[in-house]
Structure 1
Amino acid sequence: MLLSSRPPSSRPRPSRRLRAALLATAAACVLAAAPPPAVPLGIGDPLFPHLGNPGYDVLSYDIGFTYQGDNRKPMEAVTTIDALATDWLERINLDFARGTVHSVEVNGRPAEFASADEDLVITPGHAVYAGQQMRITVRHTSDPGTQDGGWVRTSDGLVMANQADAAHRVFPCNDHPSDKAMFTFHVDAPKDYTVVANGLPVGRERAGNRVLSTYRTEHPMATELAQVSIGHSAVLHREGPHGLPVRDVVPAADKARLEPWLKKTPDEIAWMERLVGPYPFETYGVLIAGADTGFELETQTLSLFERSLFVRPGFPEWYVDSVMVHELAHHWFGDSVSPRAWSDLWLNEGHATWYEALYAQEHGKHPMEARMRAAYRQSDAWRAQGGPPAAPKPPAPGQKISIFRPVVYDGSALALYALRQEIGAPKFEELERRWVSEHRDGTATTADFVQLASDVAGRDLSTFLKAWLYGAKTPPMPGHPDWRAAAPVAGRVAAPRHA
Structure 2
Amino acid sequence: MLLSSRLPSRPRSWLFSRRPRAALLAAASAALVAAALPAPTELGIGDPLFPALGNPGYDVLAYDIGLTYGGSNTQPLEAVTRIYARTTAPLERVNLDFARGTVRSVEVDGKPAAFTTAGEDLVITPGKALDDNELVWITVRHTSVPGGSGGWLRTGDGLAMANQADAAHLVFPCNDHPADKAIFTFRVTAPDGLTAVANGQPLVTTTRRAGNTTWTYRTGHPMATELAQVSIGRSAVVHRKGPHGLPVRDVVPAEDRDLLEPWLKKTPGHLEWMEQQVGPYPFETYGLLVADTATGFELETQTLSLFERGLFTQPGIPAWYIDAIMVHELAHSWFGNSVSPRRWSDLWLNEGHATWYEARYAEEHGGISLQERMKDAYALSDTWRAAGGPPAAPRQGKPGEKLGLFRAVVYDGSALVLYALRQTIGAEAFGRLERNWVAEHRDSTATTADFVRLASKTAGRDLTGFFKDWLHGQKTPPMPGHPDWHSRPPAADGQ
1:268-298 deviations in Å (ceiling 9; x for gaps): 0000000000000000000000000010000
1:366-400 deviations in Å (ceiling 9; x for gaps): 01000000000000000000000000011111113
Which residue number in structure 1 is paired with residue 407 of structure 2?
A: 405
Distance in 2 (CA, whole Å) between partners of 1:83 and 1:398 is 31
Distance in 1 (CA, whole Å) between partners of 2:141 and 2:210 is 24
Which residue number in structure 2 is paired with residue 84 of structure 1?
A: 86
Distance in 1 (CA, whole Å) between partners of 2:33 and 2:341 is 43
1:440-477 deviations in Å (ceiling 9; x for gaps): 00000000000000000000000011100000000000
Contact (CA 8 Å) 2:335, 2:350: kept in 1 or not?
yes
Distance in 1 (CA, whole Å) between partners of 2:216 and 2:192 is 14
Written as runs of structure 1 = structure 2, the 5 A alignment for 1:11-410 is: 34-144=36-146, 146-203=147-204, 204-410=206-412
Name the aligned partner's letter for residue 163 of structure 1: Q
1:185-229 deviations in Å (ceiling 9; x for gaps): 000111100011000001211113111100000000000000000
Distance in 2 (CA, whole Å) between partners of 1:122 and 1:399 is 29
Which residue number in structure 2 is paired with residue 460 of structure 1?
A: 462
1:111-169 deviations in Å (ceiling 9; x for gaps): 0000111000000000000010000000000001x221000000000000000000000
Name the SS for the 1:401 alignment partner.
coil
CA apart distance, 1:34: 2.7
Q: RMSD of aligned C-alpha atoms? A: 1.2
What runs of 5+ residues in structure 1 fail to find an aligned partner? Answer: 1-29, 494-499
Contact (CA 8 Å) 2:33, 2:125: kept in 1 or not?
no
Name the aligned partner's letter for residue 452 of structure 1: L
Distance in 1 (CA, whole Å) between partners of 2:364 and 2:294 is 30
TM-score by length of 1: 0.92
Name the SS for the 2:403 alignment partner.
helix
* Percentage of matched positions with identical amino acids: 69
Name the SS for the 2:404 alignment partner.
helix
Distance in 2 (CA, whole Å) between partners of 1:259 and 1:432 is 32
The match for 2:490 among 488, 491, 494 is 488
Name the aligned partner's letter for residue 405 of structure 1: R
1:82-104 deviations in Å (ceiling 9; x for gaps): 00000110000000011100000
Name the SS for the 1:485 alignment partner.
coil
Contact (CA 8 Å) 2:227, 2:300: kept in 1 or not?
yes
TM-score by length of 2: 0.93
Distance in 1 (CA, whole Å) between partners of 2:105 and 2:357 is 46
Question: How many residue pairs get matched?
Answer: 463
Name the aligned partner's letter for residue 264 of structure 2: L
Distance in 1 (CA, whole Å) between partners of 2:245 and 2:494 is 46
CA apart distance, 1:109: 0.6
Name the aligned partner's letter for residue 141 of structure 2: R
Distance in 2 (CA, whole Å) between partners of 1:345 and 1:353 is 12
| Structure of higher CA gyration radius | 1
Name the aligned partner's letter for residue 150 of structure 2: G
1:402-426 deviations in Å (ceiling 9; x for gaps): 1000000000000000000000000
Distance in 1 (CA, whole Å) between partners of 2:192 and 2:493 is 51
Name the SS for the 1:246 alignment partner.
strand
Distance in 1 (CA, whole Å) between partners of 2:466 and 2:494 is 29
Distance in 2 (CA, whole Å) between partners of 1:484 and 1:409 is 19
Detail structure 1 runs of 4+ shifted over 2 Å in the superposition: 30-34, 490-493
The match for 1:431 among 415, 430, 433 is 433
Name the aligned partner's letter for residue 197 of structure 1: A
What runs of 5+ residues in structure 2 fail to find an aligned partner? Answer: 1-31
Distance in 1 (CA, whole Å) between partners of 2:260 and 2:101 is 36
CA apart distance, 1:32: 12
Distance in 1 (CA, whole Å) between partners of 2:148 and 2:325 is 25
Name the SS for the 2:56 alignment partner.
coil
CA apart distance, 1:484: 0.2
Name the SS for the 2:86 alignment partner.
strand
Contact (CA 8 Å) 2:144, 2:171: kept in 1 or not?
yes
Name the SS for the 1:267 alignment partner.
helix
Contact (CA 8 Å) 2:67, 2:189: kept in 1 or not?
yes
